[in-house]
Structure 1
Amino acid sequence: MSWRNKNALLVAGAVGLGLLWTTFSGPVLRPHLAGIQVPYLASFLVNLSDVAVMAALVMLAARKGPLALWKMAGLAASPVKPLIWSAFILVPAAVAAALMAPVASDLSANTLLWQGGIFPVIEEVVYRGLAVGALVMLAHWRWWAACLAPALMFGIVHMAQGENPMDAAGIVAITALGGLLFGWLFVRWRFNLWPPILLHVGLNSLWIVFALGETALGGWLGNGLRLAVVVAAIVLSWKMIPRRIA
């Protein structure tokens, strides 16, 4: 086996271990964080461990430093064009939601900050920036294969939102498909992580501010709005970034 192939295998293994940790980090760490009374802080620490473990494993496997990892994850890319792109998509979606759906009865600034902002950013760094970035750029996987495994794990970690097996399966399917979309956006935008971050934050925030559904499954209005956002995101990305994915 050549050095290049061995290094690619090590990187793929590191990403696999990192994704595995995201599945078990909650059950492993939460019992030790049970005494924390600050809302969302325990969840934040669990999510932070996902970033730390994935980053450490990839750096060890690829022999890369933090700056190289930061660039690989798409965090050093310019957010300007993605901000314009996301405004064209999310502003009309927010207006439509405001006209057709009531404001969520349990809306709070704290929930919007954490679930609408901080957690989606962390998830995109782990599942797209680090995982997809490493699999494509360091392990030399095809983009679709690199997006698939993180998307499946992304769906699985949301399984607990379901109150019964049918709901859990639906949530896994929807969030996994969302993970595939975010992965495609990351690659399509030339490994710029800001488009999937902005879209993820926007969708989560819409679900928190307006009564579109208790979980990722949503109701007819939430699903219709989500479909419109997905179509707009794909079409506008195709137009704004005329690049053929290898």
Structure 2
Amino acid sequence: MSPTIRIALVIAQALLNGLACTPPNPTPQNRRYHTEEMYILQIAPLIFKCHQILVYLTAALETLHYLSSTFTQIPIPIPTLCASSTPLPLTPSFALGFLAVALGTYIRLDCFATLGPLFTFDLSTHPHHKLVTNRFYSYVRHPAYTGSLLLVFGLAFSHLTRGAFWVECGLGISGSGASGLGGGGFEGGSGLLGGARAIAMWGVWWAWTLCVGVSRADAEDRQMRVMFKEEWEAYARAVPWWFFPGVI
């Protein structure tokens, strides 16, 4: 039952991530700002697209492995890519990751709805721009980035820890796959993304997401200060935090 629940959650997680990473509105190119930031930070919308593809690919591979290891009479070639011949289990780290992704998606979708046409993935202004201070914006000034950070945290805990496809199967790289379900990830072991490599990958991924959030939050604050003056100053005093109340 545990592997069945896991694969259902893997698919649900991929769909949630897709919703959170799909732009709700196109960017009006003639109204963009903050175009001078570092290129590696400017390409966040492109990274989001690649991020979606990788998450869908992970869900597809894990689904194929589940089918081939559960229904052994079905001739699916995926077992040749995986050192483990048993279904991947539902682990506490995966469950924690799923909850983080679900919460991050909820926050981002709520931000999409709250801002309506004002929300674009590239920073831009709207002809009828207004200062939004309700819903999650009454707790932090940039909650959509809070959602993004939760997504990255959740995906890492779901797919770079023991029991995950990337760790247990290793995509068939000779000598790198884990043997059985005692593989690597954050919890140690010999998987493709075992131990230090999993931590390093997650660290770089999360740090990049945080840098994008900080760069854009600062730019958005400066733009809103220019556009709304005293109204923005009052809002900033009432809501001093960017992403997490009491932290940052």
Q: TM-score, normalised by structure 2?
A: 0.31
Q: Taking CA–CA contacts closer than 8 Å with sequence separation of 6 or more, which of the two structures ends up with the larger relative contact order? A: 1
Q: Give the structure with higher Rg (CA).
A: 2
Structure (1/2) with the larger helix percentage:
1
Q: TM-score, normalised by structure 1?
A: 0.31
